Chains A and B, each alone.
Chain A
Amino acid sequence: MKEPAKEAPTVSAILFLLAGPILWAGHLLLVYGVQSVTCVVGSGSVAPSALIRTLVVLVTLGAILLLCLALFFPGRLAHMLRYQTPDRDNHVFSVRVERLLILLSLPAVIWSGAAAFLLDACGLSR
């Protein structure tokens, strides 16, 4: 039997495996938050659509950067999250799951960022 102390904490495991979807969710929250708040507050005076586009681009680039870091340096991320798996198979498996989910999240982040350029910024909120 394994010593329980050697098992990585569950929270770390979840954060590590779901790094992609978590960043994706955070990105979505920021994009929608920025869009709604700017539309409500800036009524025409600040040219909200230009402002919204800039903010969305910044948030999206930030999210892409983080996702790429997590994609290319899973070891660093695991270390940061204190996600140690002594079992080698287990480690390989975790990294692959993490990477696949990041690959799924990257297009999602890019698409939701692209919406800022394809749609009228405040026109459809009603």
Chain B
Amino acid sequence: MSLARSVAAFLLLLALQGCSGVQSALDPSGTEAERIDTLTWLLIVFSTTVFLAVGLITAAALRGGGRWRARLANERLVIGGGVVFPIVALTLLLGYGFYLMGPGSPAAARADGQLRIEVVGERWWWRVTYVDETGRRVESANEIRLPVGRPVQVELTSADVIHSFWIPRLAGKLDMIPGRTNRLTLQVAEAGISRGQCAEYCGGPHAFMSFFAIAMPEDQFTAWLDREAGDARNPSGEDQVAGQALFLSSGCVACHRVRGTEAQGTIGPDLTHVGSRHSLAAATLENDPDAFVRWIRDGQHVKPENLMPPYEIFTDGELRQLAAYLDQLR
């Protein structure tokens, strides 16, 4: 295979790779994303057809000779293709648009009185609060869990600059604007994991402001939410106890909350159940003890300019103890 051919094949593979996976709008798993996907393909096929037809007509007019030209200059073709066709086609499309955006539309179906999730964009992470049917508020961060098949209302706002909330597999993107609440209804079709990304440049580590959305069957979700609502687990092993002591005495508590302990800071993400999350630091790192160590010591290299100060005061042993403590917060 020549070099050009292999490069082309490689690029094609890359492009195909982009069509599936946890963060692809072309691999929808939510009601709204499915609608967007249908509309996208409809428009692509329709526009391609029109484009090809116009191209053919142009080619026939240029190269086809007198007979073709006479045929193309036919009044019926001009009026049919130039007036009737666009009116019919665009009317249908507009009707579909009105259906999607109008009061009777699926998107307008509010999930009133049901589960609500408030998401606040922060530089550069997500504050997530679940408000269930009974009004119970459960605070978490950097991850969203959703029950399969049930519409959930997501309320979006920002604490600082404009961010944008986008889970391509579940729905279109919606801006998070300070002083304003934008609403989005998410309904997931099947259990599984999707990735979301801040979609509005918000400063330095904007690219590292992501999260995972995890859809789970109804019963599992309810059980999970009950666990998430509870206080943090008490550390048991020696390392874990030492880690908690370090956590409580090293200033972490000024910014982080671990419910059930003295740590009641609210500047940074809630860490009550941080060990059970799918990722760390807004989907920047995996979630395991090594990642905790890296984050605490090298956070400014892992995610430059993020708003947690770096801690170079700890020895390796102390870092391991801290990581052991944080990791068991499940």
Query: Are A100 and B78 in contact (CB-based, < 8 A)?
Result: yes
Find residues 28-62 in chain B having any chain A CB closer than 8 Å to their own CB.
none
Interface size class of B (residues with CB under 8 A): 10 to 19
Find residues 112-126 in chain A having any chain B CB closer than 8 Å to their own CB.
115, 118-120, 124, 126
Interface membership of B113, Cβ < 8 A: no
Q: Which residues of B lie under 8 Å from residue A124 when comparing CB positions? A: 101
Query: B29 → chain A, closest Cβ, in Å?
Result: 24
Query: Are B91 and A111 in contact (CB-based, < 8 A)?
Result: yes
Interface membership of A104, Cβ < 8 A: yes
Interface membership of B79, Cβ < 8 A: yes
Residue count of chain A within 8 Å CB distance of chain B: 12
Query: Are A126 and B175 in contact (CB-based, < 8 A)?
Result: yes
Find residues 10-29 in chain A having any chain B CB closer than 8 Å to their own CB.
none
A100 partner, pick from B79, B94, B101, B103, beta carbons under 8 A: B79
Query: Are B86 and A118 in contact (CB-based, < 8 A)?
Result: no
CA–CA, A119 and B101, complex, Å: 7
CA–CA, A125 and B175, complex, Å: 11
Interface membership of B255, Cβ < 8 A: no
Query: Are B98 and A107 in contact (CB-based, < 8 A)?
Result: no
Q: Which residues of A lie under 8 Å from residue B79 when comparing CB positions? A: 100
Interface membership of A103, Cβ < 8 A: yes
Interface membership of B174, Cβ < 8 A: yes
Q: Which residues of B lie under 8 Å from residue A104 when comparing CB positions? A: 82-83, 86-87
Query: A89 → chain B, closest Cβ, in Å?
Result: 14
Is chain A's binding surface mostly helix, strand, loop or mixed? helix
CA–CA, A104 and B88, complex, Å: 11
Interface membership of B182, Cβ < 8 A: yes
Q: Which residues of B lie under 8 Å from residue A108 when comparing CB positions? A: 90
Q: Which residues of A lie under 8 Å from residue B87 when comparing CB positions? A: 104, 107
Interface membership of B102, Cβ < 8 A: yes
Query: B162 → chain A, closest Cβ, in Å?
Result: 12
Q: Which residues of B lie under 8 Å from residue A120 when comparing CB positions? A: 103
17 contacting pairs across A/B (C-beta < 8 A): A103-B83, A104-B82, A104-B83, A104-B86, A104-B87, A107-B91, A111-B90, A111-B91, A111-B94, A118-B98, A118-B102, A119-B98, A119-B101, A119-B102, A124-B101, A126-B174, A126-B182
Give B residues with C-beta under 8 Å from A: 78-79, 82-83, 86-87, 90-91, 94, 98, 101-103, 174-175, 182
Give A residues with C-beta under 8 Å from B: 100, 103-104, 107-108, 111, 115, 118-120, 124, 126
Extra contacts, 13 of them, besides A100-B82, A124-B101 (Cβ < 8 A), are A100-B78, A104-B82, A104-B83, A104-B86, A104-B87, A107-B87, A111-B94, A115-B98, A118-B98, A118-B102, A119-B101, A119-B102, A120-B103
